Chains A and B, each alone.
Chain A
Amino acid sequence: MFYKQSINRKLFVWVNAAALTFITLIGIVPFIHLLAVSLSSNTAAMAGEVKLIPIGITLDAYDYLIHKVEFLRSLVVSLKRVVLGTAINMFLVFITAYPLAKSTEQFRARTAYVWFFAITIFLGGGLIPTFIIVKETGLINSIWALILPGALNVWNMIMMLNFFRGIPKEMEEAATIDGAGHWVLLWKIYLPVSLPSIATIGLFTVVGHWNSWFDGILYMNSPENYPLQTYLSTLITAMNAQIQSISVEQLKALENLSEKTLRTAQIFMGALPILMVYPFLQKYFIKGMTVGSVKE
């Protein structure tokens, strides 16, 4: 900021700002559109007239939404899933990454273990075998079917592992000299130091749990166990365009689809909680990681 700005520099700043604004708009305009449609009158919404400003403003859709059992029920399932899932995921990532971050002198079988985990990134079981395992272990239709199959995210675990390796050895040594064992090291030294990376991985996990919908369809046998995104996906899936004629019942379903404002209201409300998580975790992204803990 304090050096003289050349023409090129100015040009760069402007182009940069314009490009970033444009990208931001691409991201934010769909949300504004959703919000506008959900606040509009149904006729205007059905005629496709609403763009970014609501036409015939009404809160009817939201009023109806707070009484809509399906939506609220799914919201509860989703919240349960996020809380339980994130807790379990983070715990497993944390305690798995710790020993694997040690050097081979400290933990001889380390490399073998890392490969054991890493191989699952490249080779998956496939849809049907995974389904059969979930079914035979009796998890079908319970919330654990959504949590346990992916309880240890290996990718996140390796990220955490690499982060642990970046923590200066001196801290660990200092603690060991003072009499700390592995357990104390893990909880008293590594945990506080790695808060930024826990926040990052935690955010990925929360978003991942919140957004995933397909496993809900696979593993849940009745709709009252659907997480929110699975429920929302059933609202927006279009009718199969390959059919050449529609039946009376399909027609009836089309007629009932005219609740467009309600649909958009639900999609908007579905995205809102996760949008609100970001500002709170923002500071951890910006914070330096282990700045100032050790003087070389």
Chain B
Amino acid sequence: MIKKVVSSVLISTLLAASLAACGSSNENASNSNAATPTNQSHDANEPAAAPDPLGKYEQPVTVTEVIGYRPPEDAGTPKGITPEQNAYLKDLKEAMNIEIKYLWAVPSEQFEQKFSLALATGDLPDVMQVDTKTFEKLKKQDMLADMTDAYNNYATPELKEWIESDGGFTLKTVTSEGKILGIPSFEDPYMSTQLIWIRKDWLKNLNLEAPKTIDELEKVAEAFVNNDPDKNGKDDTYGIAMQKALIGWGFDARGLFNGFGSAPKSWLKGADGKLAAGEIQPEAKEALAKLQSWYQKGIIDQEFALKDETKMSEDITAGKVGITYGEWWVPNWPLNLNMDKDPNAEWEAYQIPGLNGPGKSLVGKLRLNSITVVNKKFEHPEAAVKMINFYNLMLNKENFEKNKAEDGYVYNWFQPRIYQPNLFDVIYDEVNKAIAANQDEIPVTDSSYRGINDVFLATKAFLAGDTSTRSKGTNWGLYASRAAENGGWGLTRKIRESGQVFFNEFYGLPTPTQLDKGSQLDKLIDETYIKIIMGDSLSEFDKFVSSWKKLGGDDITNEVNEWYEKEAVK
């Protein structure tokens, strides 16, 4: 017992000392006017004389939060740990004198429900990390604090660089009447570039070339259905992975629609310069006709309308299917599982097939993940920015190596957290540089260290055939998704450079009619599309277009165009 107390005291003093050290070193680099931790005791009763992004409050500041959390990612995390016991909170208290109190914590799947309840009963926390819809709701009810000063005075230069890396494009979407109402966390929109992933070993088995056009893709897929690509003598494979959410987040039809130059549930610029909804364009009808014929030929699973992403991942793992549309991350999950199950499996990414040669993929203008906002009633909006600063500091090499999951550091429970927008490019460049120079360690030590190091270790292990820490599939998954030249991100970069994309022009927050009727219209789209693929007459599409317009689609089109004229950055 005494031992325990002594060791925990020791640990916390050490932590405090090291944190103070990093704090001061960063300040010196960033802001020479900033008060250093040592002289802060002098201005005890002067509130915020000089804003210090990493300074410590004189009096403890309690910040309430709510959290929707996922299980800790690291298997070594102490069992049964809860968000309140997260070691980062203890460190935050020591470094900045900010105490986080969770009003409630629920698993992330239940967050939306619980949050709506809190919103309805007016029981909101001080600092929240919310999605765009909630942001819009809170903004309308005038519940958000003005964070302009907090951001300008308290954001570290690094954070400002991240936030303004797109020329203030994203920041503008969370600014209203000149007031910054939240700190956005966003990523490179090209992360949603559609690729097609194909079993290369199956292509070799059947002596086929990787397809460049949709017709070629159809031929390859037919061969995968009929010619026993896995050479096991059984008719147990089908062509292309497809599941019931046609416009979803994985193993879906987005890539195929893009190949036809269409993009349902997105806003495309028409010839007249106005925005039009992708789901009602004639190109979407052509893509549906193709899917219908594929369904008849057995290229897509006859039961696709009953399958979800999890089921699809099972089919891929089991080696039942050898082609799937997807983004950069597919090797990470579930292709890695297939690699581990079948030692012969080899997957390769290609640009999506189009009508004549490789097709263009849809990308968004904006990839806004979440917005950190502050309750209007809360007196310290700058505390939210300081907490973001604190967390970024925790990502550098020194802190990352010290704060082990075994000691209760659960990074994905800490809020608010802001993504580094160009992290994937940094990872790609740095890992490839280090591998080319045959280094044993990466030279980077700043906030991107954690992201780079993970991929670097996996890449090195994969290339050396080392499976001592992780399975071959897991190593390959990290390598092929983020570092390989022709892997997920590698190919995405090439597509970005060659401009083989078209844009979803609407990046604003949901319009009033969208909030009202959006889910109803989405349901109409999903149902009609699936019925057509499963054999309904194609003329159903035209009927669908007119009812879509009547049920609110026209209103939404007008609102979106109004937004486009007034607010879009062209």
Chain A residues in the interface with B (C-beta under 8 A): 43, 46-49, 67-70, 73, 127-128, 131-132, 135, 217-218, 220-224, 234, 237-239, 241-249, 251-258
**B120 proximal to A (CB < 8 A):** yes
**B212 proximal to A (CB < 8 A):** no
Which residues of the partner chain B approach A73 to less than 8 Å between Cβ atoms? Answer: 80
Question: Judging by beta carbons under 8 Å apart, are B84 and A47 in contact?
Answer: no
Closest chain B residue, CB of each to CB of A237: B109
Question: Judging by beta carbons under 8 Å apart, are B79 and A246 in contact?
Answer: no
Q: Contacts A244-B247, A256-B73 known; A222 to B84 CB distance under 8 Å?
A: yes
Distance to closest chain A CB from B455 (angstroms): 11
Which residues of the partner chain A approach B109 to less than 8 Å between Cβ atoms? Answer: 234, 237, 239
Question: Judging by beta carbons under 8 Å apart, are B341 and A48 in contact?
Answer: no
Docked pose: A244 CA to B253 CA in angstroms: 11
Closest chain A residue, CB of each to CB of B477: A255
Question: Judging by beta carbons under 8 Å apart, are A244 and B249 in contact?
Answer: yes
> Number of B residues contacting the other chain (C-beta, 8 Å)?
60
Question: Judging by beta carbons under 8 Å apart, are A48 and B311 in contact?
Answer: yes
Docked pose: A224 CA to B79 CA in angstroms: 12
Closest chain B residue, CB of each to CB of A129: B121
Closest chain B residue, CB of each to CB of A246: B249
Question: Judging by beta carbons under 8 Å apart, are B121 and A70 in contact?
Answer: no
Question: Judging by beta carbons under 8 Å apart, are A217 and B106 in contact?
Answer: yes
**B314 proximal to A (CB < 8 A):** yes
**B192 proximal to A (CB < 8 A):** yes
Distance to closest chain A CB from B90 (angstroms): 17
**B329 proximal to A (CB < 8 A):** yes
Distance to closest chain B CB from A111 (angstroms): 37
User: When A and B form their complex, which 7 residue pairs have the shortest distance between CB atoms, in order from nearest?
Assistant: A69-B80, A48-B314, A47-B318, A221-B104, A234-B107, A237-B109, A241-B245
Closest chain A residue, CB of each to CB of B311: A48
Q: How many A-B residue pairs have CB under 8 A?
A: 127
5 inter-chain pairs at a CB distance below 8 angstroms, sorted by A residue, are A46-B341, A223-B82, A241-B308, A245-B191, A246-B249
Distance to closest chain A CB from B522 (angstroms): 7
Docked pose: A127 CA to B113 CA in angstroms: 12
Question: Judging by beta carbons under 8 Å apart, are B114 and A218 in contact?
Answer: yes
Question: Judging by beta carbons under 8 Å apart, are B113 and A217 in contact?
Answer: yes
Which residues of the partner chain A approach B79 to less than 8 Å between Cβ atoms? Answer: 67-70
Docked pose: A218 CA to B70 CA in angstroms: 18
Docked pose: A49 CA to B337 CA in angstroms: 14
Which residues of the partner chain A approach B215 to less than 8 Å between Cβ atoms? Answer: none
**B315 proximal to A (CB < 8 A):** yes
Closest chain A residue, CB of each to CB of B66: A221
Question: Judging by beta carbons under 8 Å apart, are A251 and B333 in contact?
Answer: yes
Which residues of the partner chain B approach A221 to less than 8 Å between Cβ atoms? Answer: 102-105
Question: Judging by beta carbons under 8 Å apart, are B317 and A245 in contact?
Answer: no
Question: Judging by beta carbons under 8 Å apart, are B315 and A48 in contact?
Answer: yes
The 8 Å CB contact of A223, one of B106, B113, B121, is B106
Interface residues of B in 232-246 (CB under 8 A from A): 244-245
Docked pose: A49 CA to B314 CA in angstroms: 9
* A70-B80, A128-B117, A256-B70 given; 6 more Cβ-contact pairs under 8 Å: A47-B318, A132-B121, A242-B245, A244-B192, A244-B247, A256-B71
Question: Judging by beta carbons under 8 Å apart, are B327 and A245 in contact?
Answer: yes
Question: Judging by beta carbons under 8 Å apart, are A43 and B249 in contact?
Answer: no
Which residues of the partner chain A approach B105 to less than 8 Å between Cβ atoms? Answer: 221-223
Docked pose: A222 CA to B336 CA in angstroms: 34
Question: Judging by beta carbons under 8 Å apart, are A217 and B110 in contact?
Answer: yes
Question: Judging by beta carbons under 8 Å apart, are B121 and A46 in contact?
Answer: no
Docked pose: A224 CA to B191 CA in angstroms: 37
Distance to closest chain B CB from A135 (angstroms): 7
Question: Judging by beta carbons under 8 Å apart, are B117 and A48 in contact?
Answer: no
Docked pose: A68 CA to B80 CA in angstroms: 8
Question: Judging by beta carbons under 8 Å apart, are A242 and B317 in contact?
Answer: no
Q: What mask results when residues 75 to 119 of chain B are scored 1 for a CB within 8 Å of chain A, else 0?
A: 000011011100000000000000000111111111001100100
Chain B residues in the interface with A (C-beta under 8 A): 70-71, 73, 79-80, 82-84, 102-110, 113-114, 117, 120-121, 123, 187, 191-192, 244-245, 247-250, 254, 265, 308-311, 313-315, 317-319, 327, 329, 332-334, 336-337, 340-341, 364, 367, 369, 412, 419, 477, 522
Which residues of the partner chain A approach B248 to less than 8 Å between Cβ atoms? Answer: 241-244
Q: Contacts A69-B80, A241-B309, A251-B332 known; A222 to B314 CB distance under 8 Å?
A: no
Docked pose: A34 CA to B367 CA in angstroms: 39
Docked pose: A253 CA to B107 CA in angstroms: 12
**Which among B103, B187, B333 has the highest number of chain A CB atoms within 10 Å?**
B333
Distance to closest chain B CB from A72 (angstroms): 9
Q: Contacts A217-B113, A245-B191, A245-B249 known; A254 to B106 CB distance under 8 Å?
A: no
Question: Judging by beta carbons under 8 Å apart, are A245 and B367 in contact?
Answer: yes
Docked pose: A69 CA to B82 CA in angstroms: 11
Question: Judging by beta carbons under 8 Å apart, are A46 and B315 in contact?
Answer: no
Which residues of the partner chain A approach B82 to less than 8 Å between Cβ atoms? Answer: 222-224
Distance to closest chain A CB from B337 (angstroms): 6
Docked pose: A43 CA to B336 CA in angstroms: 11
Closest chain B residue, CB of each to CB of A127: B117
Docked pose: A59 CA to B522 CA in angstroms: 44
Which residues of the partner chain A approach B247 to less than 8 Å between Cβ atoms? Answer: 244
Question: Judging by beta carbons under 8 Å apart, are A258 and B318 in contact?
Answer: no
Closest chain B residue, CB of each to CB of A67: B79
The 8 Å CB contact of B309, one of A68, A131, A239, A255, is A239
Docked pose: A109 CA to B109 CA in angstroms: 49
Q: Contacts A223-B105, A241-B245, A245-B249 known; A217 to B114 CB distance under 8 Å?
A: yes
Which residues of the partner chain B approach A237 to less than 8 Å between Cβ atoms? Answer: 107, 109-110
Docked pose: A70 CA to B80 CA in angstroms: 6
Question: Judging by beta carbons under 8 Å apart, are A234 and B522 in contact?
Answer: no
Which residues of the partner chain B approach A244 to less than 8 Å between Cβ atoms? Answer: 192, 247-249, 254, 265
Distance to closest chain A CB from B245 (angstroms): 4
Which residues of the partner chain B approach A46 to less than 8 Å between Cβ atoms? Answer: 313-314, 317, 334, 337, 341
Docked pose: A222 CA to B108 CA in angstroms: 13
The 8 Å CB contact of B341, one of A43, A128, A247, A248, is A43
Which residues of the partner chain B approach A245 to less than 8 Å between Cβ atoms? Answer: 191-192, 249, 327, 364, 367
Docked pose: A224 CA to B311 CA in angstroms: 31
Which residues of the partner chain B approach A258 to less than 8 Å between Cβ atoms? Answer: 333, 337
Closest chain B residue, CB of each to CB of A257: B310
Distance to closest chain A CB from B287 (angstroms): 17
Closest chain A residue, CB of each to CB of B121: A132
The 8 Å CB contact of B110, one of A70, A234, A251, is A234
Closest chain B residue, CB of each to CB of A241: B245
Question: Judging by beta carbons under 8 Å apart, are B73 and A252 in contact?
Answer: yes
Distance to closest chain A CB from B277 (angstroms): 14
